[in-house]
Copies of this chain bind each other. A is one copy, B any other.
């Protein structure tokens, strides 16, 4: 139940750095032996080879992986990896990098769940840094920086959590966990800035801003299940 990262160039290297912070299990595929050696030295599992080859994806465990991030520099290669991964593991979640806008539709049709354009992210960030520098800093720090120990989290409320049926004010999330409830995703609806009297429901995904250790603790409370010995 791991994540495969295809390509450890400039974009892929930053993906890997993020995954390290998230404590996810993952394995990297890269064509460059020097890059693979450098990853191994950092104890990051890596496979040397071309991710567009079936046997390389199989060696990285595509059949039992929960997700694959294809961060190769050529759109055609990412489409190819997407198609191959989907055929070998229909349940896999696929996040794909794209450079040219035309690639988006092809990646979608090949089975990618999410498509990320580094040029779009970069271009928008250039504008935001000019027009909203404080916001831009905050998003950058909250979303990515480990140093300030503030994080944004998505926490799913399980059926048997003691949070179910409580209003937000009763849940004491703001005071006890020092966390901001930015939004609640309930089915397809996104409740922004939910009211203090909003009642927490089973299956709600709460989007929270807070300190990392508080959010871990809150996640534990939200995830409580009856009969933990059973396999839900």
Contact = CB atoms under 8 A, between A and B. Distances in A.
A126 interface: yes
Interface residues of A, number: 66
Given A3-B130, A14-B120, A123-B15, A193 B179 contact: yes
Interface string A120-160: 11111111111111110011000110001010111000000
A80 B207 CA distance: 43
Contacts of A193: 174, 178-180, 209-210
Given A135-B152, A207-B135, A119 B14 contact: yes
A153 B180 contact: no
A132 B182 CA distance: 15
A95 B190 contact: no
Copies in the complex: 2
Given A153-B132, A193-B174, A193-B180, A124 B18 contact: yes
Contact of A11 (B95, B119, B207): B119
Contacts of A150: 192
Contact of A207 (B18, B121, B134, B179): B134
A43 interface: no
B190 A123 contact: no
Interface string A1-44: 00100000111111111110010100000000000000000000
A17 B124 CA distance: 8
A69 interface: yes
B180 A127 contact: no
A200 interface: no
Nearest to A120: B14
B14 A124 contact: yes
Pairs of residues from A and B, 7 with the lowest C-beta to C-beta distance, nearest first: A118-B122, A14-B123, A18-B127, A121-B121, A10-B119, A134-B154, A114-B129
6 contacts: A14-B122, A116-B122, A118-B123, A124-B143, A193-B209, A193-B210
A166 B126 CA distance: 35
A114 B148 CA distance: 19
